Structure 1
């Protein structure tokens, strides 16, 4: 079954779903025009297939569409941005040294 990413704003997280099952999520807090990512996980049994990266890419694409900035407190999100420098512009320049970006 094809997976998809949806923003579950009521739970403050982007969810990776396969059918009705949530197989991963990226939790965030909203502060004005910032999305502060605090935790990302993919359920055991679904790890190692690039799904976490797909989840983060979709979440960051949504942030970009909303013209939001990103605060990567979550190490997975931070490392993903570090490996995909075309998303670095989402992190405010003043915060990049704090996150090693």
Structure 2
């Protein structure tokens, strides 16, 4: 599912379509990193790992672009704690 995550630059958010719903992670750009400020999963999709897939895909896009990430929301902090393989991305 992570391959389906896209960067909606107009809205400054990463998005993942799940059926007719959209999970998203808002971000702000700095000269040195992408700050993920908030993640949102539609209520009907919660508890299915959708937010983790969203963050995984967002980190893949951030890595691909050669950027670093700053966890600006609790979910991303927790995700990074559970996935030390992504520690190289942390600014």
What is the TM-score normalised by the length of structure 1? 0.82
C-alpha RMSD over aligned residues: 1.6
Partner Cα distance (1:23, 1:46) in 2: 9
How many matched pairs?
A: 90
Q: What residue is the counterpart of 2:33 in the other structure?
A: 34
* Structure with the larger RCO, 1 or 2 (CA within 8 Å, 6+ apart): 2
Give every structure 1 segment of 4 or more consecutive aligned residues whose post-TM-superposition deviation is greater than 3 Å. Answer: none
User: SS at the partner of 1:52?
Assistant: helix
Give deviations 1:32-52, integer Å, cap 9, x for gaps: 231001000100001111110
Unmatched tracts of structure 1, length 5 or more: 93-101
User: SS at the partner of 1:10?
Assistant: coil
Partner Cα distance (1:57, 1:64) in 2: 11
Which has more radius of gyration? 1
Unmatched tracts of structure 2, length 5 or more: none
Displacement of 1:5 in angstroms is 1.5
What is the TM-score normalised by the length of structure 2? 0.90
User: SS at the partner of 1:32?
Assistant: coil
